Amino acid sequence: MSTLSSVREIARAETPSFSFGRAVALLAGTVVVGVEALMNRAELRKSRRQLAELDDRLLRDIGVDRAHARYEADKGYWA
């Protein structure tokens, strides 16, 4: 028996079979990642709206002009 064929046999023997628990775990992980992405987008949108509400003095303090603040605030939820 060659080394390659013995490696293939070992790989086949250790390959986990499909299980309902594994499928549920993968689905749950995908849902968690999706919810986190949505929450991050919502937080970004909130920060952009708050940026638009700052006065010129505060914008100057952080090095942003009014036009750039307005540009950021006008970006959509998915931008």
Max Cα separation, the chain? 78
The residue type of 25 is A
Q: Which residues touch 12 (CB under 8 Å, ≥6 apart)?
A: none
Checking if the pLDDT of 2 tops 70, the result is: no
| Out of 6-10, 19-23, 53-57, least confident range | 6-10
CB 51 within 8 A of CB 64: yes
The predicted structure's pLDDT at residue 9: 65
Per-domain boundaries in the chain: 32-79
The phi, psi pair for 72, rounded to 5°, reads -65, -40
What pTM, to 2 d.p., does this model score?
A: 0.61
Average pLDDT taken over every residue of the chain:
83
The predicted structure's pLDDT at residue 1: 54
Per-residue pLDDT of 27-54, as tens digits, reads 998 999 999 999 999 999 999 999 999 9
How does residue 70 score in pLDDT terms, banded at 50, 70 and 90?
A: very high
Rounded to an integer, what distance in angstroms lies between the CA atom of residue 15 and that of residue 9? 10
